Structure formats: C-alpha cells, structure tokens
Amino acid sequence: MSTDSYPEISFETRMSSVEFRVHERAHITVDSKICADCSTRGCITACPANLFVSTADGGILFNYELCFECGTCYMVCNEEGAISWSYPEGGHGVVFHSS
C-alpha cells in the first residue's frame, strides 16, 4: 500500500522512535509450555510492540524490553497462567515524550 512519496517505515524504525528505560528484571513473563497448547495466539497478532513470536517447537518466545505496558497481551490471552503481568520497576519501562 505504501507509495514512493511516502515509504512505510520498518517496524524496527518505528520502535526505535520510542524510549525504553529497560530494567534488568522482566516485568512480564510467559510460560511457553502453556502457550504450546494454545491455538488462538492472539498475543502474536495484537501486541503493538510485536514482542510475541512463535518458536519452532510450538512455544512462544517473548522479550519484555520494548514493551508499551499496555495490557493487550494478558487481556487477549486465552490460557490461564500463560502470562504473568506486572508493571516495571518505578522509573523504568516505556517513556513517552510527544504522545
């Protein structure tokens, strides 16, 4: 859909416009064993930061570092206990400037 006059940016460029003050502790963890039984996998589609990726062995790979802390993933998750969600340590995580 993109045109020459307005090239669509890559996802990496999009995410590099956002400041994240990453803490060493993961504020969200995903139990890939539980995900292996999930057929819907709404998190992969819906996470605006695209942090959920299917793995070859049928699980889910998740990285917390570039997270918007929005709550989408746990809300669309069908598998109880698959996602443990909390906010990052104070002062860490996403920092918006012109939103």
Strand partners, 31: none
Shortest CB 51 distance to other proteins, Å: 11
- Residue 61 interacts with other proteins (CB under 8 A)? no
- Which region, judged by CB under 8 A, interacts with other proteins, from 7-15, 29-37, 56-64? 7-15
Contacts of 3 (CB under 8 A, 6+ apart): none
Closest among 72, 91, 68 to 83, alpha carbons compared? 72
Lookup: tokens for 51: 């942090």
Asked if residues 34 and 81 have their Cβ atoms less than 8 Å apart, the reply is yes
| 65 is an interface residue for other proteins by CB under 8 A | no
C-alpha 78/C-alpha 69 separation (Å) is: 19
If one asks whether residue 81 binds other proteins (CB under 8 A), the answer comes out as no
Q: Write down the least CB distance from residue 57 to other proteins, Å.
A: 22
Q: Give the footprint of other proteins on this chain (CB under 8 A).
A: 1-3, 5-6, 8-9, 11, 13-15, 17-18, 21, 40, 42-43, 45-46, 48-50, 68-72, 75-76, 86-91, 93-99
